[in-house]
Amino acid sequence: MEKRTLGSGGLTVSALGLGCMGMNQSYAPFPERTASIALIRTAVEHGITFFDTAEVYGPFTNEELVGEALRPVRDQVVIATKFGFRYEDGKSVGVSSRPEHIRAAAEGSLKRLGIETIDLYYQHRVDPSVPIEEVAGTVKQLIAEGKVRHFGMSEAGLDTIRRAHAVQPVAALQNEYSLWTQRPQVLDLLEELGIGLVAYSPLGKGFLAGKIDASTELDAFRSALPRFKPEAIAANRALVDLITSIATAKQATPAQIALAWLLALRPWIVPIPGTTKLHRLDENNAAAAIKLTVIDIAAIDAAVASVEVQGGRYTPQQEAMTGL
């Protein structure tokens, strides 16, 4: 698989990464731990070098899983994890990016992952009570100490990104980005500053793969989201139908077209689709070989523009936790 560079500091990763959250967070029922470990190791064999986790996934258990899976191939991969939440009784109860909390979180992640250095360390959600300059400065110190290699942010506002980048260069912004969640102004800023985009939920939490309709029995996570209410699903199927028609003409699947579209947008965008199934991993990986032309992109963009997506991507409470 081709490689891409995130940021100006030389962070090189596979063009597609693997989001590991769903292996034991949000998308129940979860596979057996041994099956997830086997899938992660197979992903490495198939050219994936970029793996995404976070302390809040579980909490904590996803990092342990990813760490165990990647330990035999540590020198071949890039591991990204995240800080930014506080916990009570093992559950997330809000954001915290106080310097002392960041340091404690980093030590915990290093131990759970079983590594000496975190390759890419994201602030998972902006903490409005802590100036972003303090957050960036703390990560800068961790980089100087050899505990972190690169700084990342997630779901941060444009001004916040610019201010953080002035203190410690941001290698990557992780945002939801897909055919049904686009923010061109974010791409403009990242291009200006030389920051990569790591696109999570590039398949719209599975919806853009074309397998979900109003009769699908959803997990608790998706069923709580406005876009996955039955009436929204019924309306949003028009988008999937258009993507499917384009995919059929290209002898591809809707999921592959959604990923290939992201890869074609900018050379510094890296989607991180998540899966727990080997055949989906192979399907996603094959998208990296699909080369869309300018005409293809224009046709896809026109199709997407013709459909008004129904429903918010998150609940109001969840959306309020982002910095957007």
User: Where in the sequence numbering do the catalytic residues fall?
Assistant: 57
Task: Provide the residue type at 317 as one letter.
Answer: Q
Contacts of 113 (CB under 8 A, 6+ apart): 53, 63, 64, 66, 67, 70, 79, 81
Residue closest to 58 by CA, chosen among 29, 84, 87, 24: 24
- Whose tokens are 């909490």? That residue is 59
CB atoms within 10 A of CB 87: 15
Which neighbouring-strand residues pair with 46?
none
**Rounded distance between C-alpha atoms, residue 261 and residue 275, angstroms:** 19
**Rounded distance between C-alpha atoms, residue 69 and residue 40, angstroms:** 6
- Whose tokens are 């959600």? That residue is 125
- Whose tokens are 């198939």? That residue is 46
| Count of residues in the chain | 324
Residue closest to 190 by CA, chosen among 322, 9, 6: 6
Assigned token pair, 253: 């699947």
- Helix/strand/coil for 289: helix
**Rounded distance between C-alpha atoms, residue 194 and residue 104, angstroms:** 29
Q: How far are the Cα atoms of 124, 143, 202 from residue 156, in angstroms, in the given order?
A: 9, 21, 18
